[in-house]
Amino acid sequence: MSLALFRSLPVSVVQVSLAAVLACGQSFRWTVIPLGSEEPPTHEYRLCLRDRVVCLRQTPEHFYYRAVYPDSQPTHDQVSTREKETVAWIKDYFQLDVDLTLLYQDWSTRDHHFATLQDRFGGIRILRQDPWENLISFVCSSNNNISRITKMVNSLCKEFSPPLLTLESPVADEKHAYHPFPPPSVLAVPEVSAKLRSLGFGYRAEFIQRTAQMLMEAHGTTSKPDAVREPGEIWLESLRKLTTQEARDELLKFHGVGRKVADCALLMSLDKKEVVPIDTHVYQLAVKYYGVKAPSKGKATMSNKIYDEVSAKLHSIWGEYAGWAHSVMFTSDLKSFSSYGLPTPSSSVSISTEEIIKEAVTDTLTKRKRLSDDTIEKTPRIAPQPAVSTTHDLVDTIKKRRRVVRVSGISTP
């Protein structure tokens, strides 16, 4: 498959596995296109931002990227500027300043169970997403699974955001329309609730519309016609500068945003790497592998006390990047990843991201009997307490390697 239109960026698959990280329930708008090749790159991944569509392919040691714009004939200066913006966006979105191999080494030392998973589930890291899109996506996640969340988020974009451009498929004689994520002002209109209900959003429809309306009422709209983002979106991003609890308190003010949804936003878009979102799925893993006490009766309510205890326990094991470790553990237990990383009789290629997305019938809320966020199933077996290293902490080393990536001029999703 030709890479003539792509530029390369050295990124090892052990640092980022697109096949895993784009299908494990963090982001829901990436289009995945199989390229029909047994040799990498085997897939193309596309995401529509406000002003461009970013296209990625991956080999074991490189990202291959290109960006497509609505205007087909940019000037020479525009080409150079846009190229820098796209590279900066990729580095920022995938947080490439964090050395994932160091984190995996640290977690394997702290956690014997993690050590058994690291070879199969390498390259899984936390994305640094646009806070507005991330928040609304996880409002959609309530009592839901990855496949259905993906469908809802994409239908939201198609209904409320005009297509930025159409782009040909790399393997078929067809074109796809790409829609940006709609801004708060579009979703704040009262009529949005009824339309979302007609699209199958259920009770989440009011949560989405009301959250957008609250942002608009508090922060207004911009008077600049060429503004990339609205004031409410800028304010949400500013929560990155607050402490974890301060940012959480702000998020909890929105309709439909409970502790788990808020913590997902804190971890996946607001730089709170230590936050471990807890639901029944994660609770069961904590009972099974980390010595967390199962409820004395068959079922128990997910109280704030239980949430805090489980979160604190996992943080004590995994350290300051506990939220990142949680993502690896969570992904490893998804039904759709049951054969991920395992060799097949004919090849050693992992299952494709397209299969993962299509077959993802278990998400943060659908383990076993699809228990709701408010119910926890008892797991009878409690694993021994894992060994925790209190002296082996690589956070300082990792921090020294971090380089803040400034994104100037590029539009976020």
Q: Which residues are catalytic?
A: 260
Question: How would you classify residue 220: left for phi > 0, otherwise alpha for psi between -120 and 50, otherwise beta?
Answer: left
Distance CA(99)–CA(234), nearest Å, equals 28
Instruction: Count CB atoms within 10 A of the CB of residue 123.
Output: 21
Q: Which has the closest alpha carbon to 35: 56, 14, 49, 52?
A: 56
320 touches 274 (CB < 8 A): yes
CA dist 167 and 155 (Å) reads 18
Whole-angstrom distance, CA of residue 384 vs CA of residue 382: 7
**Does residue 123 contact residue 11 with C-beta atoms inside 8 Å?**
no
Q: What is the C-alpha to C-alpha distance for residues 29 and 147, in angstroms, rounded to an integer?
A: 11
| Angle, CA of 270, 272 and 275, to the nearest 5° | 125
Q: Are the beta carbons of 251 and 240 closer than 8 angstroms?
A: no
**DSSP per residue, 68-131:** E-SSS---HHHHHHHHHHHHHHHHHHTTTTS-HHHHHHHHHHH-HHHHHHTTTSTT-------H
Report the C-alpha gap between 143 and 366 in whole angstroms: 8
Question: What CA–CA distances, in Å, run from 154 to 31, 56, 159, 180?
Answer: 10, 19, 9, 10
Tokens of 258: 């409970």
Q: What's the CA gap between 316 and 390, in Å, rounded?
A: 9
Cα–Cα distance between 109 and 177 in angstroms, integer? 46
Measure CA 221 to chain center. 27
